[in-house]
Chains A and B, each alone.
Chain A
Amino acid sequence: MNGAEDYLIGEHLTGGYGGANILHDCNIGVGRGEIAVIVGPNGAGKSTAMKAVFGMLNLREGSVRLDGKDITGLTPQARVAKGMSFVPQNHNVFTSMSVEENLEMGAFIRRDDFTDTLGQVFDLFPILKEKRRQAAGELSGGQRQQVAVGRALMTKPKVLMLDEPTAGVSPIVMNELFDRIIEVAKSGIAILMVEQNARQALRIADKGYVLVQGRNRYTDTGAALMANPEVRKAFLGG
């Protein structure tokens, strides 16, 4: 799985929230049109790794590269401008604003006409078009996640980072969301995703990272990890 360098790379990521390090020499990468999935137990540092890649964590060591260029020093806003987009695990919609306003805010940095992109998001998530005037806070869990992903797509990003996009949704909605995410990846966007539903996520993953206590435990293709008996036993429930 090496060869050409990945589009987005986090290398030797080491750092935490002030006190002790949470991440220890963590390596993560994803190529264009690929889906990379980070799995691991609760508190392993998956969300922290996502924040590190997005510039929301003070790194003690390590670097982040986008398309071969070092972006370690950039603020999150500057990374948005460079084509990165992030859906955080919690509080990922503007609850008091309508669905359409949420999407508009996603396109905030765009100065051009974004009606096309709005249409594409509505095509991807038809329910959002139906509920465009409704406050995002009034929607069901699955619909909210669609708003969150839709908002992140409004900048026409080259990299989409999703932290547990299927948290708290039913299995049917989860499969539905995964199908949409595959669609997005097929359009050439690099997708880096954290998932609790490890089995289902690794099934659609080009790359998988198993993180334990802030360290890379296993790194391989999604299929290889699924086939690895140790990984199955320890992380996929047999």
Chain B
Amino acid sequence: MHEFSIAMDIVDIATSYSRKEKANVVKEVEIEVGQLSGVVVEALEFSLEAAVKGTMLENARMNLIFIPGKARCTNCAQEYETDTVYMPCPACQTGAPDIFQGRELRVKSLIID
């Protein structure tokens, strides 16, 4: 389950930025998780719970923000929502669209003191 190593990377990123900002307390970590990022949100939540133990993020709220997948047709420029990376265009059936939203996997912000 790669969500464990992803969770460890999130903890590393958030703690190193918190240190750089000389934070005493981390109240919240905001994490963007795209629908097409390859990460299962529930598995990530579960992994984060284990990963924060004994770190300065232990009591911080992990705010996972889900970002839906969006595709643009390479033939007719139609934009549509998709839950796969390959869903064909609903208007003209062309496959392999440009995915312009939903691949995010990013530590967006921290709320610290």
A and B: interacting chains: no
| A positions within 8 Å CB-CB of B | none
| B positions within 8 Å CB-CB of A | none
